[in-house]
Structure 1
Amino acid sequence: MKRVPPIGAPLDDRAINLVATVLDRFWLRPVSRSGYDGRRAVRAADEPMTLVLADRRTVARDNDVVALTFRAPDGGDLPAWQPGGHLDLHLPSGRRRQYSLCGDPQDRSRYRIAVRRIPAGGGGSLEMHALSVGDTVTVRGPRNGFPFVPYPRALYIAGGIGITPILPMVLAAQRLGTDWHFVYCGRNADTIPFLDEIASWDPSRVTIRLDEEHGVPGADDLLGRTPARGAVYVCGPPPMIETVRRNFDRSGAAALHFERFGAPPVRDGKPFEIELASSGQVLGVAADETLLDALVRQRPDTAYSCRQGFCGTCRVRVLHGTPEHRDSRLTDTERETSMLACVSRSVTSRLVLDL
């Protein structure tokens, strides 16, 4: 899931200082008195926690999306989090998966996530759907690479399960009294989750677009409600995000934040080979696929999570060859000996991996 900073015209130091002063006096101070809890977790995000599944319920009419609510075994408060945050879940099989928190950040007693069942996926969603109330899981986080900024005016866009990080953002926007609008897209009313919760929101601020009724949304459908000089937050499938990105400059907004659900497309890829040092087996990596895809095809138990180049789960050691690093996680020193298989490629025709 790629995290991108706001896009806008660069500001010089005087402009930055002026903006900071105005925000502090007229926005941040009132926000601090509004009941919005902006505290961040003081616990290290890498420190593991054991949580117990306290509730599970389907939240889409097709029964393919389940909301899972976790609590501390002793019933105590959980570390604070902010809208856009996610958890790293370590599943009994050894898989690691990341899921956005989609509950209320003000409720420290529980964490809620939602998972869509993907039968042809990597198995993580099926394992999550198999969890029963009372089961325990190991969790790291919360982490946040898709942070909520309390803009006075904002447009929130979600596609399908992409609503999970957007949901708490809209709740925060409501709590703060900001000017907001929410555009929610999906295949049909049976497949999009949390319709019952959205029904309680101000209907004049919500637009629901269903492909089977309205067609696939275009740029005007997605960005038509963009507030002038406001912000746009979007999470959903790659085609939706690409539509927003390509047309953002003419929307009139000042900042764009997005998070992908699913791997980004391979751009400017060239074919290469990887050799597995333990067996000498050579695998081809096509121009339009990732190294991780090639590994999973041969070794279905290969560990991975975000598929975006930031979590580090798919890190592999490189014995020979020169990687083309496309991640946002590894340091320069780490890149001398390692690479992330989900996004990085090869400068040389073959890489020898310590696998």
Structure 2
Amino acid sequence: MITVTGARKNYGSFAALDDVTLDIPSGSLTALLGPSGSGKSTLLRSIAGLEDLDGGTVTIAGRDVTNVSPQKRDIGFVFQHYAAFKHMTVRDNVAFGLKIRKRGKAEIARKVDELLEIVGLDGFQHRYPAQLSGGQRQRMALARALAVDPQVLLLDEPFGALDAKVRADLRLWLRRLHDEVHVTTVLVTHDQEEALDVADRIAVLNRGRIEQVGPPADLYDRPSNDFVMSFLGPVAKLNGQLVRPHDIRIGRDPDLAVARDGETVESLGITRATVERVVHLGFEVRVDLRNEATGEHFSAQVTRGDSAALGLSEGETVYARATRVPDLPEKPVAEVAAEPATANG
């Protein structure tokens, strides 16, 4: 268990962490998600001991480590740009921490072989970092971090510098790795899809505060406020309410089917809209629309089958309604904070 209590960190007049309290269960994979400048990297670095808090405490497995050096916190850390030893082979890079701790040669050999197999680098032992792809270097970095059996694994945007296909593959691989090794893991990301795909729990940060913590499905389906909903997945504004694009039903007839017993078309509201663009995104179709009454633009997400059945084309008039509207506080959509020049994410 990692417990952060009342954490505060200021950079001049900017509050990177503003009284943050967070519990991270043992064995979980928790994502710290938020825009640039939200405090997620500052929080991760504070857990690691790489940032000194101005106030508050950090405990790991019941031990107060607030004033303990990073080397004595029993953590593994992987950055976005991992600084491997270029003159060392993959095997020697992974073994480095074990050699520093003066482990026996047999133990080192066994541990390195085991980890290289786990991370899918068996057979790459004698290559050098320059001979690996970006994804392979990050897997080597994770093997090196895990070699010393840390209590906690901290990942700071580990896949951010990689292309989309490699990131997707490594997300799947990381989830499988976590299920195998069960080390308590904290992942910093600004990628909502990455957090939803990988994490057991997500903590959404904004302007140095935690907005909501919980399982991905809870945050997506039951966001605590408009910021969480707007940041965790796409949103559309329909008749003054935030809805998910996949919860918007469109058709050519204003008497659209009612989603639930007892509802009427009038109670949910039907919007007359003009189709501005139809975008095919693989297995789904995004329909960009303009509200004919207000001029507001919004998008609906439909299946390829529904799109083909409707035969949608630009300039046509359709009718839209929300089939599900989250219960959010009545206030304007929060603006995503810009990252100050002196702040860490």
TM-score (norm 1): 0.29
Highest RCO, 1 vs 2 (Cα 8 Å, sep ≥ 6) = 2
Q: Larger helix proportion, structure 1 or 2?
A: 2
For the pair shown, the structure with the greater C-alpha radius of gyration is 2
